[in-house]
Amino acid sequence: MALLQISEPGMSTAPHQHRLAVGIDLGTTNSLVATVRNGISVVLNDENGRALLPSVVRYLADGGVAVGEAAQAMQSEDAANTIVSVKRFMGRGLKDVGEISRLPYRFADAPSAGPGSGMLQLRTVAGIKSPVEVSAEILKVLRSRAEVALGGELVGAVITVPAYFDDAQRQATKDAARLAGLNVLRLLNEPTAAAIAYGLDNAAEGVYAVYDLGGGTFDISILRLSRGVFEVLAANGDSALGGDDFDHRIHCWLLEKNHLSALGPRDTRLLLTHARAAKEQLTEHAEARITAMLSTGEMIDSVLARSEFHAMSQNLVQRTLQPLRRALRDAELGVADIKGVVMVGGATRMPQVQHAVGEFFGQTPLTNLDPDKVVALGAAIQANLLAGNRSGGDWLLLDVIPLSLGIETMGGLAEKIIPRNSTIPTARAQEFTTYRDGQTAMSIHVVQGERELVSDCRSLAKFELRGIPAMVAGAARIRVTFQVDADGLLNVSAREMGSGVEAAITVKPSYGLSDTEITRMLQESTQHAQDDMQARALREQQTEAEQLLEAVQHALELDGGLLDQAGREKIETRMVALRDTLQLADHLAIKRAAAALNDATVGFAQKRMDKSVSGVLAGKNISDLEVKP
C-alpha cells in the first residue's frame, strides 16, 4: 500500500522541496552569508572554514579578479587596483566623497546618463569599474559559497543595508545583487535584521535598542518586539562614524609619535592595516606592538597601551550617544523603558564602547550572539520566511523610513506627505490644486528631508502632469500619491480627479546622495526648527500676497473704469506698499499690508459685482426670471 505524504498546517504540500534562500550582510569591512538549516539560522563558511569574507576586490591586468583574503593581502602593494570599503561609494558621486586626494584610487568621470549616472567610477588595470560592479564581485563569491554549501541554485536572498541608506544607495545595492545573479527578496535594515535574530533565538518581548557600530557607519534603532511582531519605533545614527575612524586615530598617533609627515597611498594603507590589527589586539590585551617597514626604508616600532587608545578615541564613543538620545526622544521613551541593548558590528567589541553603552542604559549589553554574524543570521531568517519555507503568520516585520518624503509647493515650501519613522510598506495621498487661472500642467518636485523649505531638503525627482482641464485657480483637484515598498524605495503618482489625467514616476535619484547628508538633515531639522517655522510663515504670507497683487492687478485691467481717480490711487498706493513690504523678512508686516489692500478694494469689489449682476439681468423682464415648477 502506498503511503501518502500529508503536510503540517501552514507548511508546503511538498515539505521535502525546501527552497534555498540566504541572508547576506554586505558589509564595509567584511561580508558573510547565512541560511536556515533544520529551523536554525547558521552562517555558511568557505572551504577553509572561514565565515567572514573581507570586502576587498582586486582587479588584475589579465582581466582576472581576486576577492577576499587574496585581495586583502595585496592592498598595500597594489592600492590603486585593490578596492577597500567600497560600500562607502555605493550610490555616491565624487562630490560626496570627502578628500579624494587621500584615497589611492584613480577616479574617472561619471556617466551623465543611463543606469548609475552620477555615481563615481574607478579606473583600474581591468578598465573602469563602478561601485556596483565591485560590490557584485563580493556578492558573486557569497552566492557561489552558498550554492556549493546548500547543493543547489538559490531562489533568492535578503540583503542588508544600513538603516540610513537612502533611495540611491538602496537601488545601487539591488543593482549589484542583480549583476551577481541574485534574486533580491528584500532589502532589510541591518539593525532590524539583528533584532530578528535576537527576537526569535531568545524569544524576546519588550522594547529593545539595537546599537550598530560597523566599519563605516553607526546606526541606532528602537524596536518593540511583541508576540512575533517586530515594530521599529525610531531610527537614528551618525553615518560619518565607524570602526575605520578608530583605526584612523591610531594612524594619526603613529604619525605624531614617529614624527612623520604625510605619507603616500601605499604607506598610508600599510599603517591603517596595522592600526586595525592593533585595535583588535587591544580588545583582549593591555597593549599592542605596531611594527612596519615604510617604502622609505624607515622602520616603525611603537607600543600602544589600551588606556592611551581609550583616551584618544573617547570623543568618538561619545559621538554615538547623541543619536541614542534623539532616537529615544523620537520614540517617546526613556532609558528605563529599554529592556535590552543588542550590540551589532565588530567595532562593538571594543571595551570602551561596551562600557559607555552599558553606562548610558544602566544595563549590560547583550553580546551572546556574535556581533559580526548577527545581521546575516537575522537576514537568513527573513529570507527563509519570504521564500515560503515558513508560515507567514508566525511573525511580522514593521520597518520604517529614515527621512520624510514630500513635494514642493508654491513659495518653495516642502509639504511632507510621508513623515519619517513611518512604518513601511506604506502609501499616502494628499490633494493639491492649481495656482493660476487656466493652468493645464503641474510640475511635481519630490523632495526628502525634515526642513520646511525645499532649498534645505534633498531633491529626489521631478516629473510633470499635463492635460489638466483649464479652470480657474484653485478649482482643479490633483491627488498626489506616495508609495514606499518594503525595500524603502519610492513610487509617486499624480492624478487630476475630474478628468482622470495621470502621471507617475519610480524614484531612482541620481547616484549622489550620501548617507552623511541624511544625518545632517535630521540634525539641522532640530537645530533650525524655530527658524524653519518663521521661514515657512514668511513664505506662506509672501505667496498669498503675490496672489492678491496678481488678482487686484487683473481686476484693474478689466474694470478699472469703475473707479474714480481717488479710488484707483488709493488701491495702487496700497499695492505699492505691499510690494515694498514683500522685500522685508517680516511675515506680520506683509499680513498687515495685505489686509490694508483688501480693505481698499472692498468698494471696488462691490462695483464689479453690481456690474456682473447688471450684465446678467440686462434685456430681461420679471417673467423671464420666474422659476418654473
Angstrom distance (rounded) from CA 298 to CA 302: 13
Burial 225-257, CB ≥16 within 10 A → b, else e: beeeebbbbbbbbbbbbbbbbbbbbbbebbbee
Task: Kindly list the structural domains of the chain, giving each domain's residue range(s) and its CATH number in brackets, ordered by start.
Answer: 22-241+320-399 (3.30.420.40), 243-316 (3.90.640.10), 401-527 (2.60.34.10), 530-616 (1.20.1270.10)
Closest-CA residue to 316 (of 366, 256, 381, 243) = 243
Average pLDDT of the residues in 427-453: 82
The cell 551623465 sits on which residue? 112
What is the per-residue pLDDT for 615? 65
Taking the CA atoms of 72, 240, 170 and 52 in sequence, report the sign of the dihedral they define: positive
Would you say 223 and 232 are in contact if contact means Cβ atoms under 8 Å apart? yes
Catalytically active residues are: 25, 87, 190, 212
Tens digits of per-residue pLDDT, 52-82? 999 999 999 888 899 999 999 888 888 889 9
At 521, the pLDDT band (50, 70, 90 cuts) reads very low
- Those residues whose C-beta lies under 8 Å from the C-beta of residue 344, and which sit 6 or more positions away, are 190, 191, 194, 210, 211, 212, 213, 214, 371, 374, 375
Taking the CA atoms of 21, 166, 91 and 492 in sequence, report the sign of the dihedral they define: positive
Q: Tell whether the model's pLDDT for residue 332 goes beyond 70.
A: yes
Highest mean predicted confidence (pLDDT) among 17-21, 175-179, 348-352, 520-524 = 348-352
Angstrom distance (rounded) from CA 37 to CA 30: 23
What is the per-residue pLDDT for 19? 86
How many Cα atoms sit within 13 Å of 499 on the Cβ side? 17
Q: Give 407's strand partners.
A: 415, 446
Angstrom distance (rounded) from CA 242 to CA 305: 21
Would you say 138 and 23 are in contact if contact means Cβ atoms under 8 Å apart? no
DSSP single-letter state for residue 264: P
Cell representation of residue 104 = 589611492
Would you say 54 and 72 are in contact if contact means Cβ atoms under 8 Å apart? yes
What is the per-residue pLDDT for 619? 60
Both ends of the chain: CA-CA distance in Å?
Answer: 86
Average pLDDT of the residues in 376-384: 92
Residues in the chain: 629
Taking the CA atoms of 522, 527, 530 and 535 in sequence, report the sign of the dihedral they define: negative
Tens digits of per-residue pLDDT, 361-370? 999 998 888 8
Instruction: Quote the Cα angle for 140-144-150, to 5°.
Output: 145
Average pLDDT of the residues in 118-133: 86
Tens digits of per-residue pLDDT, 287-309? 999 999 888 888 989 999 999 99
Angstrom distance (rounded) from CA 195 to CA 224: 10
DSSP, collapsed to helix, strand or coil, labels residue 19 as coil
- Check: pTM over 0.95? Answer yes or no: no
Closest-CA residue to 367 (of 355, 381, 382, 380) = 355
Name the residue with higher pLDDT: 475 or 8. Answer: 475
Angstrom distance (rounded) from CA 115 to CA 122: 16
Name the residue with higher pLDDT: 503 or 211. Answer: 211
Instruction: Quote the Cα angle for 386-164-523, to 5°.
Output: 150
